Amino acid sequence: MAEMYLISMAAEMLDMHPQTLRKYERLGLVRPSRTLGAMRVYSDEELTRLRLIKMLVDEAGINLAGVQRLLSVVEVAQRLRPLVAEGRQRGPADLHRKLTSEIDQLFQILGLDAGRKG
């Protein structure tokens, strides 16, 4: 079973204020689970994501809106990886459709025209 951390422990481990973790949740940057008593609990995966957010904000100087976009790009990129392997097993038309959809989503996240005509 994966380790789970209450908000106070997670905040201490990350050297962050619990209110910051609540703010990140409100913004949709993290999605901690809840106990039956509605207390936030963070998985190791969420802690890794929070460390990335902290690095992007503190060290790279990226604002939270930028962090949201970058994380969205990362999520699409993570979905693209298995498509390449899947494409070896499926037909090229199916792979092309899926890749086109994911790439179009990347352009949408970035606020760019995907190069579509008309």
Task: Report pLDDT digits (tens) over 61-117.
Answer: 999 999 999 998 888 888 887 876 666 666 677 777 788 888 888 888 777 765 554
Do 35 and 43 contact (CB within 8 A), yes or no?
Answer: no
Rg over alpha carbons for the chain, rounded to the nearest Å, is 18
Please give the helix or strand (H or E) that residue 42 lies within, else none. strand 40-43
Q: Which two tokens stand for residue 20?
A: 């910051």
- Chain-centroid distance of CA 90 in Å reads 27
pTM for the model stands at 0.72
The one-letter amino acid at 30: V
d(CA 55, CA 61): 8
